[in-house]
Structure 1
Amino acid sequence: MTDQTLAGKTILMSGGSRGIGLAIALRAAADGANIAILAKTDTPHPHLEGTVHSAADRIREAGGQALAIVGDVRNDDDITEAVLKTTGEFGGIDIVVNNASAIDLSGSLDLSPKKYDLMQDVNVRGTFMLSRAAVPLLRESGNPHILSLSPPLNPSPRWLGAHTGYTLSKFGMTMVTLGLAAEFAPDGIAANTLWPRTTIATAAVQNLLGGDRVMAASRTPEIYADAAYLVLTSPSRENTGQSLIVEDVLEESGVTDFSGYAAVPGTPDDRLFPDIFLD
């Protein structure tokens, strides 16, 4: 898509202590980017790897500058503080990555009100509020981007009826992003979504989507990170308002062999587990 790099660019990311968010941060760090991570994991979780502090250490080891911000994307004061701290540390914001996401695939009768509210607050409201708070800074950037890790809108009964609460929150995340793309196009701020064709080997897949069997049939987070890098280095005025697919982005850049991204080396593409929301 572009010959640009992320050297010297500043990214504000929600979540990112582990998994896809951390992989995106490490890919950017290899260019020498500045990455501020707003995440709740201040101390080690008994069942999840990584904290906001260990993620910052890995970013620095990869060649980037890091700012660990302990906070909750559901909290407006934490969002304001994250924007202020990021600007104070790095002088501005060039990119917002809406990575934080809550997931519960329960059916409607089994989904607790608390979990429903959590998904709406993190996925939809968090995406809107963090992006909105950064807009004044993004307007000052030479190539500003908002990237949300959410799927294309696909209101088929297959997905609407599968897990209505979660589907609503992820489609809401996408609608927020596409709305921001239209609203702030005159400012040159790109806003896009990105979603993979296969499951990605993360804690969510391990714990919620099928355990070891699906993990073994997934791709690594690095495929998501490489696609995100291409989006974030593309010209913001030319690449906005799109619901992008990871593999399509890579193919358009000339990458056709995805075998190196298999979580289990040698797994053929036709044995990989398809991600949800895509027909």
Structure 2
Amino acid sequence: VGDPHFTVSIRGLKRPVCFDLQGDDGDVINLLADDTAKLYVNARIIKASINSKKTYLGEISILKPNKTWVISPDQVERTISDQLQWKDIDKINMTNAVNETYDGDHINQIDNTSINDISIRYSGYRTLTLTTSSKKGRIEFLLRRSQTKHQPIEIKYLNFYLTDSTGLSGSVYGLIGQFISWKGNITKLYMQPNGKIQSWIKLENERQNGGRNFTAVLTHNRRSMYSHQQCWTVWKEGKDFIKGKYEDYLIHGLHSKPSS
């Protein structure tokens, strides 16, 4: 995710699907919401500069009952303690923590039976891994901080990846969450005059009647976690791929929960 640029893995497709959304500075969008797992992930949009239309993800919030993490490129804020610098994740003073213990570079719940935990691991100066769980299984997010280059003002922003969705329920929703239970199938391929490959893809969901059909073009995804990864790019802000429109995912703030 960045610019904001989104990459979504769909069951049945060998390559992920990519799309861009052009939000406004200060907008907060819901990325993922799972009422069953009681987990919500939101993102605040920031603008590159006054004269630029480019926007990025400036902050990410991860909400669970009685526990919230708000992550920016510079710090991590917890509801149970002070603000922390990324580099200080491994120096956390747990004096004010509740039901938490520190082990190496990992924060764990003392009560291992609890399903409301959020643990965090610092993997070098650019990457944080946040892990939580539900009755169904494990859920993991990776946040990577980046910085714009070759611009008058350098902007720090976040890339967000859902790396393990095992613990999410079938009723998960949100801009990214809506695709967890969908399966994709390429119904047609076409070589454009410029040499690019265009596809017609159908999405199907066992829980819902009908499906969605959209077109995409095979491109190189420069913002992927993995170098040289190709993806099916959907133009016009994910037209026909995402449900509804951008405004449907706006919420009041980073600590807010969306309505299903």
TM-score range, shorter chain: under 0.3
TM-score by length of 2: 0.26
Normalized per residue, which structure has more strand?
2
Normalized per residue, which structure has more helix?
1
TM-score by length of 1: 0.25
